[in-house]
Amino acid sequence: MNIQKVTVIGAGQMGSGIAQVAAGAGLDVKLHDIEEEYVQKGLQRIGKNLARQVEKGRLTEEEKEGVLGRIQGTNRLQEAAREADIVVEAVVENLHVKTELFRQLDPLCPDHAILASNTSSLPITEIAAVTQRPERVIGMHFMNPVPVMKLVEVIRGLATGEEVYRTVDELARRMGKSPVEVNDYPGFVSNRILMPMINEAIYTVYEGVAEPEAVDQVMKLGMNHPMGPITLADFIGLDTCLYIMETLYEGFGDPKYRPCPLLRKYVKAGWLGRKTGRGFYNYER
C-alpha cells in the first residue's frame, strides 16, 4: 500500500513533531486539533523548529517552505479524516479518550485507511476493538522529541494484518526513523524497561539513599546515560510517569511495578516537572 496522505490528530509537542517529519519526507499532512488555537500553536512550533534547522544550515529556506506547504491545519475531524491513507493519533494518554476518538474516526476514514496510535503504553488490541477495521489498527510509538529521536516502536495488535505492519514499517523508514517490531503488552518495550528504572530511582530518593542530583550523577557517570533518570522523569512529566507505572501495575498485577509513593505525592502537589516549573528540580526563573 502506498501512503501519501497522512493525518495527525493532536497538535501538541508529539503530534506537531510527527507532522513535521511526515511533511519532511514529502508526504501531504493534515494536522488536527479540537480548537483552532491549538492547531495554530502546533503549526507555529513546526515553523520555529524548521527555522532553527535553517539557521544551522541543515535546511534551505526553500526546503523549509516546502515542508510547511505540505502541512494543512484543521479543527474539523471529518475534513482531517476523509482522504487519509493513515491517521496517526497523538492525543492525551488516556484509554477512554483514545477509544472514543478511534470510534469516531472509523466511519469517517476511507476503507483503506490505517489507524495508528502513538500511545506509549496503552493496549492497541483494546483500541482496535472499538472499530470495524481491527486488522488495520496498529501502534506507532514515536519518541520525544520526534524530529530528533530515531526510534519508532511499531506495535502489532492481536488482529493487526501483515500488510498493514509492513506498510507502517516502510512508512517509518521513509520518515527517517528506525522502526522496531513490538507485540502488544503493557508498556511495550521502551516504557516497560524505562519506567521501572525511573520509578526505582525515585524510590532511592524516597528511602533517603541519595539526593536526586546524586542519583542522576551515578547513572550519567557510572552507566554513561546522557541524562539521569530523575532529570528524565521531570522532562517526561511526573504525571505521565505515574500513569504509565499504573498501566504496568494494572496490566501485569506484579508488585514490582508499584508506583513509588513519593511520585504520587509530587503529582498530587502539581509538581509535574519542567512543564509546571517544578518537579524533583526547580525550573522556575
Query: What is the distance between the alpha carbons of residues 53 and 181, in angstroms, rounded to a whole number?
Result: 30
Q: Is residue 51 part of a domain?
A: yes
66 and 120 in a common domain: yes
Q: Using CB atoms within 10 A of its CB, is residue 48 exposed (0-12), middle (13-18) or buried (19+)? A: exposed
Q: Is residue 252 part of a domain?
A: yes
Tell me: is residue 144 an annotated ligand-binding position: yes
Segments in the chain below pLDDT 50: none
Query: What pLDDT sits at residue 109?
Result: 98
47 and 24 in a common domain: yes
pLDDT in tens, 93-147: 999 999 999 999 999 999 999 999 999 999 999 999 999 999 999 999 999 899 9
| Ranges of H-type helices in 84-217 | 95-108, 124-128, 162-174, 190-206, 212-217
Q: Determine contact, residues 154/177, Cβ cutoff 8 Å.
A: no
Query: What pLDDT sits at residue 134?
Result: 98
Q: Is residue 240 part of a domain?
A: yes
- Phi/psi of residue 256, nearest 5 degrees: -65, -15
Tell me: is residue 224 an annotated ligand-binding position: no
Q: Is residue 271 part of a domain?
A: yes
Q: Is residue 283 part of a domain?
A: no
Grid coordinates of 185? 503488552
Q: Is residue 285 part of a domain?
A: no
The string over 163-185, giving b where at least 16 C-beta atoms fall within 10 Å of a residue's C-beta and e elsewhere, is: ebbebbbebbeebebebbebebb
Query: What pLDDT sits at residue 136?
Result: 98
Query: What pLDDT sits at residue 212?
Result: 98
Tell me: is residue 245 an annotated ligand-binding position: no
Query: What pLDDT sits at residue 284?
Result: 84
Tell me: is residue 26 an annotated ligand-binding position: no
Tell me: is residue 69 an annotated ligand-binding position: no
Tell me: is residue 220 an annotated ligand-binding position: no
163 and 106 in a common domain: yes
Q: What angle do CA 3, 157, 12 make, to 5 degrees?
A: 60
167 and 33 in a common domain: yes
Q: Is residue 11 part of a domain?
A: yes
What order of strands is seen across the sheet that includes strand 114-117?
Answer: 71-74, 28-32, 5-9, 86-89, 114-117, 137-142, 151-156, 178-183
pLDDT in tens, 172-184: 999 999 999 999 9
- The DSSP result for 255-278, as a single string, is GGGPPPHHHHHHHHHT--BGGGTB
**Which of 80, 72, 137 shows the shortest CA–CA distance to 103?**
137
124 and 24 in a common domain: yes
Residues contacting 208, CB < 8 A, separation 6+: none
199 and 125 in a common domain: no
Query: What is the distance between the alpha carbons of residues 207 and 120, in angstroms, rounded to a whole number?
Result: 28
Q: How many domains does the chain have?
A: 2
108 and 228 in a common domain: no
Query: What pLDDT sits at residue 1?
Result: 82
131 and 163 in a common domain: yes
Domain membership of residue 47 as a residue range: 5-183
Domain boundary pick from 183, 207, 241 = 183
Domain boundary pick from 157, 183, 209 = 183
Tell me: is residue 73 an annotated ligand-binding position: no
43 and 26 in a common domain: yes
Q: Is residue 284 part of a domain?
A: no
CATH number of the domain residue 132 falls in: 3.40.50.720
239 and 152 in a common domain: no
Query: Catalytic residue positions?
Result: 120, 141, 153, 191
Query: What is the distance between the alpha carbons of residues 285 and 55, in angstroms, rounded to a whole number?
Result: 27
CATH number of the domain residue 215 falls in: 1.10.1040.10
246 and 158 in a common domain: no
Grid coordinates of 253? 498485577
User: In Å, how far are 51, 97, 227 from 135, measured between CA atoms?
Assistant: 39, 21, 38
214 and 170 in a common domain: no
Residue matched to cell numbers 518495550: 189
